[in-house]
Amino acid sequence: MAQMISPGDSNNLPDEPPSQLKREVGVFGATMMGLGSIVGTGVFVSIGIAAGVAGPAVILSIAVAAVVAGFNGLSSAQLAANHPVSGGTYEYGYRWLHPSLGFTAGWMFLCAKIASAATAALGFSGYVLHAFGQEHSDWLVPLALGVVIVLTMLVLSGIRRSNNLNVVVVSVTLFSLVFFVLAGLRTAFASGTTNLTPFFAPASGTTSPLAGFLQACALMFVAYTGYGRIATLAEEVHTPRRTIPRAIIVTLLVSMALYLAVGIIGVASVGSGTFATTGTQKAAPLEIVARQLDIPGASLVVATGAVTAMLGVLLNLILGLSRVVLAMGRRRDLPSLFAHVNGSTATPYPAVILVSGLIVGLVLIGDVKTTWSFSAFTALIYYAITNLAAMQMAVDERLYPRIIPWLGLVFCLFLAFWVEPVIWKVGLGMIAAGLIWHWLAGRFTRSTSKT
């Protein structure tokens, strides 16, 4: 008897089109992909950066950023569940809004996550060198470039092997963070509220307490945005309407709890000033804190978790970014070369190579704080468009009340302009440059089709 194949199983056909991806990721795999993207640079590096502008109030900024991320996560979940294709808000903008907004979303996603990936590569390099007692900055960039190249080769080998490695990476990272929290409880309680007062006291003397707090909220928001990685996997997960919302919600809950616990223990143990200095100058704040906990092997456990976390972030960002490039190539917003998917590994080779090349370019610059701030602005604009798209969904398409995307939109636009003025000005310039390219590409496509 001939086997009946549903449209959702069309990727199993022997003559599968080379431009389609395989659905082989479940709830657990998608959740681990999300955690691999979230639990990395944000917890091991950005908390230190945020502490430098907000002081002890960085703890509250972690909570506020988590709430904003929750609104955006629910909007992303219902969009991806109704339109399960690679590309995330890039595709949602095209479907529910306008091609220009869809393109802007894709453009902002690339800018934000490429900057985040470069930060993760440099963070990996910093933790490795510091763990081995090597303070020489000459090795920072070469080691970061090396790890980008190695992970690129892994991604080119196919999603299944990448997903399996990701589970191992995330497991080690989560263990190290739980260990850090438990090991630091005694020191944190012994310090009492000494390191938490005054609460609104930014480390930077040029920043007002309120401005420092709001800037820290923006910086910490981008630390949660790895859940968007799950939405970009929409074309590769089983039963997207069920899998994607569950994976995003679980990912956010776990990461929120970890960030709050790590932030409270870190700041209460050594103070925001020390936390900020180690985060910006040595890029290894949690390891420095762990060394002061007076527990044998604590710093080694934390350093190991940090290194694996950065690997997880890079792995997932290369995967997710390449899927957005794939989607943009399909629409000819980028050259059609990037729409090609290798038939044997179901991997978009040209897209992966482009993404890795751009990450390498930012790694060569090596300014961690600037790239993270740029990631914050562009990510907030990206998710503002996500919420705007979710507001346009029909009643039968929605999984959650319409107030959710409304709140997400307002908070995203508000926080976006609390990063340094030079950052959001450059970000607006990048949006303008992208829209000009989109307009020119559209005119070229139309003129070519006429001929």
The answer to whether 443 touches 396, Cβ cutoff 8 Å, is no
Burial class (CB in 10 A: 0-12, 13-18, 19+), 440: exposed
Closest CA to 356 of 20, 103, 21, 110: 110
- pLDDT by residue, tens only, the chain of 451 residues: 333 333 334 344 344 444 555 665 677 777 877 787 788 778 888 888 888 888 899 999 999 999 999 899 899 888 887 887 766 788 899 889 999 999 999 899 899 989 989 888 988 888 888 777 776 667 888 999 999 999 998 888 875 555 677 678 778 888 999 999 998 888 888 887 888 888 887 655 556 888 889 999 999 998 888 776 676 666 677 777 778 788 888 888 888 888 999 989 888 887 877 776 655 555 567 887 887 777 888 888 988 888 888 887 888 788 878 888 888 888 888 888 888 887 777 788 899 999 999 999 988 877 777 888 899 999 999 999 999 999 999 998 888 899 999 999 999 999 999 998 999 999 999 999 999 988 887 777 655 555 5
Output DSSP code: residue 14. T
Give residue 16's pLDDT.
42
Closest CA to 30 of 229, 319, 260: 229
Alpha carbon 324 to its chain centroid, in Å, reads 13
Residue 35 carries which side chain, given as an amino acid letter? L
Give residue 6's pLDDT.
36
Helix (H, G, I), strand (E, B) or coil at 25: strand
Burial class (CB in 10 A: 0-12, 13-18, 19+), 79: buried
Give residue 131's pLDDT.
77
Give me the sign of the Cα torsion angle 42, 197, 278, 172: negative
Give residue 22's pLDDT.
63
